[in-house]
């Protein structure tokens, strides 16, 4: 008889920039029979809620994380076995790390004893970090033990793991150790990322009630998506010098075309031809003409992107989501409208997958649907631009000695002034205006 297999269920990769998940709810309990591809657990990231399915058939032997826990990608969360009575396996070993990170893991302990970090001091100084005297962390046969998230943070700050004193099991370097290191060696005494969210206010409690400057208040904890959005907004403003330019666009030709094609499009594709689709198509046109708006900044390098991936903000019951239309470089208007309708439906039904909300190179938001004339939105990092669309307004226009009613709206580009100057932003908006006003 062949030996029955045990399987470890790990947190899978959730897409670009996602390093951890929060366990929302377990959909199966210990002892349950599991079929391949059965949803096992619902998790939440800073981008989307989703389910993790079982890649194996068997029984759910053990659950290692409780609801509400925050767990790193590649961390063991459950055990599945073909044997219902299999013994519980041990937690994930320290050495289970992604293979592609081993180059940075195996640093010679002997060589480090008499050296400071081998990272360029100028790079550290740019982040406000002074080189300290060497402090020992856990080293096993040349391997410095650290969590995956700690390794990523150390790389982001150009910190050698050998300089960080680990507080985890057997001296393992953790996320908290990296944060402590940065704070203690920063000339600006950088606060924790979570402390960047809001300025603390001093309240007074009296007779089971809470007051702020004499006004009674009701304290409500932020939802996860609201807190993560707030943290992202604060981080973006601290990262990019924001500037906004606004231009007015005559949409008469676009609206005439939309009216003529709306019914035919609906019957053919079972979805509506929306005004936002025209703005996405116009943005694709403008981004091809102005590639500096379709880039990111990495230190003193500019990363120009081949693909044009448009993130479109969608309001949902749980908060704002930004699903991404991928590889739109050659999309027709119809293709844009169909893909947009699909993503909006998934967003509002909480069916977005992790890959649906990552990889954006430019974003669009449409507060005009609520009557807003214009806006100054926050850039979605690591992008360098976001387009806002204002509401439609009617105005008489003189054409060939006749007064006609035309529809206008204001559109604004909020841009990262490190890489885009005022002239470039104005030309980008001019390209969008040209596309829309001459649409036929």
Domain boundaries, the chain: 6-81, 99-190, 226-437
The angle formed by the CA atoms of residues 233, 235 and 241, to the nearest 5 degrees, is 90
pLDDT at residue number 406: 94
Q: Same topology for domains 6-81 and 99-190, yes or no?
A: no
Tens of pLDDT, residue by residue over 37-86, are: 889 998 887 667 788 989 889 999 999 999 888 888 888 999 999 888 88
Are 21 and 70 in contact by the 8 Å Cβ rule? The answer is: yes
Are 157 and 182 in contact by the 8 Å Cβ rule? The answer is: yes
Q: How many CA atoms lie within 13 A of 430 on its CB side?
A: 8
Dihedral over alpha carbons 101, 102, 106, 112 (to 10 degrees): -20
**pTM reported for the whole predicted model:** 0.64
Nearest to 374 by CA among 362, 389, 386: 389
Q: Which CATH number fits domain 6-81: 3.40.47.10, 3.40.50.970, 3.60.150.10, 2.40.50.100?
A: 2.40.50.100
- Is residue 306 annotated as a catalytic residue, yes or no? no
pLDDT at residue number 253: 96
| 83, 156, 307, 421: the active-site residue | 421
Are 60 and 29 in contact by the 8 Å Cβ rule? The answer is: yes
pLDDT tens series, the chain, 440 aa: 456 788 889 988 876 667 788 888 899 999 999 998 889 998 887 667 788 989 889 999 999 999 888 888 888 999 999 888 888 876 544 333 343 433 333 333 334 333 334 444 444 455 454 444 434 444 443 446 777 777 777 777 777 777 788 887 657 788 888 888 877 765 444 445 445 455 567 788 888 899 988 899 999 988 777 787 888 888 899 899 999 999 999 999 999 999 999 999 999 999 999 999 999 999 999 999 999 999 999 988 999 999 999 999 998 887 788 999 999 999 999 999 999 999 999 999 888 888 898 899 999 999 999 999 999 999 999 999 999 999 999 999 988 889 999 999 999 999 999 999 999 999 999 999 999 999 98
pLDDT at residue number 170: 59
pLDDT at residue number 311: 96
pLDDT at residue number 91: 59
pLDDT at residue number 85: 84
Q: How far apart are CA 29 and CA 245, in angstroms?
A: 54
- Is residue 49 annotated as a catalytic residue, yes or no? no
Q: How far apart are CA 361 and CA 292, in angstroms?
A: 11
Can you list the positions of beta strands (E) in 6-57?
Answer: 6-10, 20-26, 33-34, 39-44, 49-53
Q: Which CATH number fits domain 226-437: 3.30.559.10, 3.30.1330.10, 3.40.50.2300, 3.40.30.10?
A: 3.30.559.10
pLDDT at residue number 245: 97
132: buried, middle or exposed (CB in 10 Å: 19+, 13-18, 0-12)?
middle
pLDDT at residue number 174: 84
Non-local CB neighbours of 418 within 8 Å, separated by 6+ positions: 240, 241, 297, 384
At the topology level of CATH, where does 99-190 sit? Dihydrolipoamide Transferase (4.10.320)
Residue 137 CA, distance from chain mean position: 32
Nearest to 309 by CA among 355, 365, 364, 359: 359
| 37, 83, 307, 417: the active-site residue | 417
pLDDT at residue number 142: 40
């Amino acid at each position: 008889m062949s030996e029955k297999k045990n399987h470890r269920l790990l947190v899978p990769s959730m897409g670009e920039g996602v390093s951890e998940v929060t366990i929302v709810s377990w959909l199966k309990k210990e002892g349950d029979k599991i079929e391949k591809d059965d949803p096992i657990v619902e998790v939440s990231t800073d981008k989307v809620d989703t389910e993790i399915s079982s890649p194996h058939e068997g029984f759910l032997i053990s659950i290692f994380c409780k609801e509400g826990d925050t767990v790193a990608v590649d961390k063991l969360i459950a055990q599945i076995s073909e044997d219902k009575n299999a013994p519980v396996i041990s937690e994930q070993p320290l050495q289970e790390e992604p293979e592609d990170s081993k180059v940075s893991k195996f640093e010679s302990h002997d060589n480090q004893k008499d050296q400071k970090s081998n990272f360029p001091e100028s790079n550290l100084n740019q982040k406000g970090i002074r080189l300290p005297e060497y402090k020992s962390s856990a080293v096993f046969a040349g391997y410095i033990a650290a969590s995956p998230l700690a390794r990523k943070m150390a790389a982001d700050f150009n910190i050698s793991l050998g300089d960080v004193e680990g507080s985890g099991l057997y001296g393992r370097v953790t996320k908290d150790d990296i944060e402590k290191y940065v704070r203690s060696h920063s000339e600006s005494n950088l606060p924790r990322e979570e402390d960047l969210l809001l300025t603390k206010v001093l309240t007074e409690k009296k007779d089971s009630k809470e007051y702020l400057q004499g006004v009674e208040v009701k304290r409500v904890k932020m939802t996860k998506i609201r807190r993560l959005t707030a943290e992202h907004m604060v981080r973006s403003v601290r990262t990019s010098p924001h500037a906004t330019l606004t231009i007015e666009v005559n949409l008469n030709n676009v609206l005439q075309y939309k009216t003529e094609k709306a019914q035919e499009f609906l019957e053919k594709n079972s979805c509506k031809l929306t005004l936002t689709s025209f703005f996405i198509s116009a943005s694709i046109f403008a981004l091809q003409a102005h590639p500096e708006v379709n880039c990111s900044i990495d230190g003193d390098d500019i990363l120009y992107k081949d693909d044009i991936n448009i993130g479109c903000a969608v309001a949902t019951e749980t908060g704002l989501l930004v699903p991404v239309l991928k590889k739109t470089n050659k999309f027709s208007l119809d293709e844009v409208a169909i893909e947009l309708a699909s993503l909006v439906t998934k967003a509002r039904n909480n069916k977005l997958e992790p890959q649906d909300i990552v990889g954006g190179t430019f974003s669009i938001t449409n507060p005009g649907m609520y009557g807003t004339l214009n806006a100054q939105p926050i850039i979605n990092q690591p992008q360098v631009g976001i387009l806002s669309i204002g509401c439609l307004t009617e105005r008489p226009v003189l054409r060939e000695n006749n007064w006609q009613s035309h529809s206008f709206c204001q559109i604004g580009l909020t841009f990262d002034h490190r890489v885009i100057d005022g002239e470039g932003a104005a030309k980008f908006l001019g390209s969008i205006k040209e596309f829309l006003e001459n649409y036929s």
